[in-house]
Amino acid sequence: MPYKIAVILDKSRIERIRGTPVEKEVKDLYGGYLKVIELTVPDEIAQRILKEFPRARIDARGFIEETPVAFKRELFEVIVKLKSTGPEVFDELLKPDRLGKIKEAAAKEDEYLPPPNVAYCG
C-alpha cells in the first residue's frame, strides 16, 4: 500500500521551487494557512524509511511522520535538485552517502533542537 509524506513549505522554500514543475504541486492545507508538497511513497520505500528511522511512524492519515528534521530537510533539497516529486527522489535520498549524512544529523537532533525565537506571553 502506498503511503504519503508531506514537506512543509515556508516562504524561503516556496521561493526555491518557483518556476519549476514542482510549484504546480503545492497544496493548501487548513484553509491555506500552510503550503505543502505531498509525495507518494511506495510501500517498500515506506518500510525502508521506517526501518532506517525507528521513531518514524505512519499516522492516521496514512502519512509518514516523526522522521528527523534532517530527513525532511534533505528530502526538500533532493526535490529542488531533481525538480521532481516522483519516486526517483527516494532513490537519490536513500543513497548511502546521503543517508549517512542524514543519520549523523538526526543523532544530534535527539539531544538538541534550536528553539524558535518567539516571545512567551504567559
CB of 84 to other proteins, least distance (A): 22
Distance in angstroms (rounded) separating the CA atoms of residues 91 and 27: 24
Distance in angstroms (rounded) separating the CA atoms of residues 43 and 28: 25
CB of 70 to other proteins, least distance (A): 10
- Of 21 and 107, the one with the shorter C-beta distance to other proteins is 107
- Of 71 and 90, the one with the shorter C-beta distance to other proteins is 71
Site for other proteins, rule CB under 8 A: 6, 8, 10, 28-31, 33-34, 55, 57-61, 63, 65-67, 69, 72, 109-116, 118-122
**Among the listed residues 84, 93, 64, the one whose alpha carbon sits nearest the alpha carbon of residue 24:** 84
Cross-strand pairs, 41: 3
CB of 24 to other proteins, least distance (A): 19
CB of 66 to other proteins, least distance (A): 5
- Of 55 and 81, the one with the shorter C-beta distance to other proteins is 55
Q: In residues, how long is the chain?
A: 122
- Using alpha carbons only, what angle is made at residue 25 by residues 54 and 67, rounded to the nearest 5 degrees? 10
- Of 19 and 114, the one with the shorter C-beta distance to other proteins is 114
Grid coordinates representing 10 are 515556508
